[in-house]
Structure 1
Amino acid sequence: MLHRAGDREEARNRLSQLWHEIGPQGDAFHRCTLAHYMADTQDDPKDELDWDLRALEAAEGFVTERTDDTGAAPGATSVADGPGPRHPLVALRAFFPSLHLNLATDYAGLDRRAEARAQLVRARASANALADGEYRQGLREAIDRLELRLEGSAGPLP
């Protein structure tokens, strides 16, 4: 609410406190969500990229490949073991397109077009895996807009 009201600094301070409370061993779903929001409160584009990378790292750490003998097929995804409550994998999968899109936007803003394009490919693939609906459509439109900006811009992107 603070961030949306325009108080980025206070939002950043409070989210930082939460980040330290959760800690590196805290629930990955919560770390992903918090880092995702923390990125949006940053003033420096490099700091925003760092927080978006933390969000992706937490999300990827949350999803593991099952290789045990529980009867699951090799390569089947499950929720990682660890402290904290378990969250549906479906809820986390919905984050991936947005995480990759944010990273693409970060890289584009830092004039790192190749990395931005690579993240757009990942964003599009993960968006295509979502169920049809407004969220998926909105992500696809945002991906298309950034792709057009990347193709049409010779200088640094805003």
Structure 2
Amino acid sequence: MSAITEAVATGRTGDSAAARARLEDLWIEIGPLGDPLHRCALAHYLADLYDEAALALTWDIRALDAADALDDSRVREHHESLQIRGFYPSLHLNLADDYRRLGAFETADEHLTTAREYAGSLAGDGYGAGVLAGLENVAGAIAERSTRRLPTH
């Protein structure tokens, strides 16, 4: 997880290409059947580093697939406060945004609905508030039938 975190930090400094390359290398190391917590985190962050919605979608699907292989005992090994339910609002939000950007508005709306169903699992912190704001932003873009990249992507 520390290598994933380091790569994400690189991306947040503006060096998306280096962050993508490092995360892709880590994906190869972890492998498609590796630890689902590592696969989920890596794929979730890697998706955000792609401007192309189809590539982001590929990684967001991988993140959701890995989350579905997790349970609370595994995520609590990483941090005692975590619950797998808390992952799903953000994972489905990202999928909703990917599908929206690809013009698949019905599928986007289905993932948005699922994200909202899990939203009660979010903590009342900055992260939770950010996901809730993202839900509203994507909902507005779906209603407008917009496929443009949102500034909050």
* Interval of TM-score (by shorter of Structure 1 and Structure 2): 0.7 to 0.9
Q: Deviations over 1:56-95 (max 9, x none)?
A: 00001214xxxxxxxxxxxxxx65xxxxxx3229343222
Equivalent residue number for residue 55 of structure 1? 63
1:156 matches 2:144: no
Q: Distance in 2 between matches of 1:42 and 1:131?
A: 27
Percent identity over the alignment is: 41
Q: Distance in 1 between matches of 2:125 and 2:14?
A: 30
1:126 matches 2:114: no
Out of 43, 49, 55, the residue aligned to residue 51 of structure 2 is 43
Equivalent residue number for residue 92 of structure 1? 84
- Structure showing greater radius of gyration is 1
The Cα shift of 1:9 comes to 1.4
Q: How many residues align?
A: 137
The Cα shift of 1:156 comes to 3.1
Equivalent residue number for residue 71 of structure 1? none
Alpha-carbon contact 1:128-1:136 (below 8 Å) kept: no
Out of 104, 107, 132, the residue aligned to residue 112 of structure 1 is 104
Gaps of 5+ in 2: 1-8
Question: Structure 1 segments of 4 or more deviating over 4 A?
Answer: none
Root-mean-square deviation (Å): 1.9
Out of 25, 29, 36, the residue aligned to residue 28 of structure 1 is 36
Equivalent residue number for residue 142 of structure 1? 134
Question: Structure 1 residues 135, 5: closer, same or farther in 2, change over 3 A?
Answer: closer
TM-score of the pair, normalised by structure 2: 0.80
Give the letter for the 1:126 counterpart.
Y
Give the letter for the 2:17 counterpart.
E
Question: Structure 1 residues 156, 135: closer, same or farther in 2, change over 3 A?
Answer: closer
Alpha-carbon contact 2:141-2:147 (below 8 Å) kept: no
Give the letter for the 2:53 counterpart.
P
Gaps of 5+ in 1: 64-77, 80-85
